[in-house]
Amino acid sequence: MYFTKDEEQYMKSLARNAVEQYVLTGRANDGEYNFNEDDFLMFPDNMYNIPEKLNKRHACFVTIRKNGDLRGCIGTIIPHNTLYNSIIENAIGAAVRDPRFPPVTKEELKYLTYEVTVLSEPKEIKYKTVEELFSKIKNKGVIIRKSFYTAVYLPQVWEHFNTPEEFISSLCQKAGLSSDEWRNLNLQVQIFEALK
């Protein structure tokens, strides 16, 4: 699925407005957000119309940055709601429920930027060698599982690593496993792509 610039702007603005309203009032507003006119390029009927693609079920992550640094990131891998509602839920979650950060304050709002990553449905991969594993996960979003250990990296996390070995080692550590657990070829691995 492809998203237009208008739709991308709508998603970012939806995330921003959801966070600002929640931080300022302490509540989500059931879809009634105070958009600014310059938030959007015009949609055909009404700039407040929800783009059709946002009424479909999709999983997404919302990433919040403050002056370029990560300030919160929350999302889901499996779609359980419309993309519109998922953006609202995850934006508020990234602002106030990411355990790595304190909740966003009113004073911070003007310094924040928002990124929405819409995900394809995860697909399990089979592999018999390290080389096959590396070739199948390269530049993809990756979920690993072993027993009750699990972790996920979005596709853009690849930017922070020079090799697949560094990527998968870090992901194993994130899951609470040994950094070289992947060498045993016993991880359950799923891959997904960012649609935006």
Higher-pLDDT residue of 195, 29: 195
Tell me which DSSP letter residue 26 carries: S
What's the pLDDT tens digit per position in 43-88? 444 445 788 899 999 999 999 999 999 999 999 988 889 999 999 9
> Which residue from 70, 95, 59 is spatially nearest to 157, judged by alpha carbons?
70
Are 78 and 129 found together in one domain? Answer: no
Are 138 and 110 found together in one domain? Answer: no
Element (H, E) at 62: strand 59-66
Q: Any idea what the CATH number is for the domain that residue 42 is in?
A: 3.30.700.20
Are 50 and 106 found together in one domain? Answer: yes
Are 85 and 177 found together in one domain? Answer: no
What's the pLDDT tens digit per position in 22-45? 999 877 655 555 555 454 443 444
> Which residue from 57, 51, 94 is spatially nearest to 79, judged by alpha carbons?
57
Q: Report the amino acid identity of residue 145.
A: R
Are 89 and 162 found together in one domain? Answer: no
Are 9 and 100 found together in one domain? Answer: yes
Domain count, the chain: 2
Are 104 and 159 found together in one domain? Answer: no
Are 60 and 152 found together in one domain? Answer: no
CA 64 to chain centroid: 10
Are 21 and 115 found together in one domain? Answer: yes
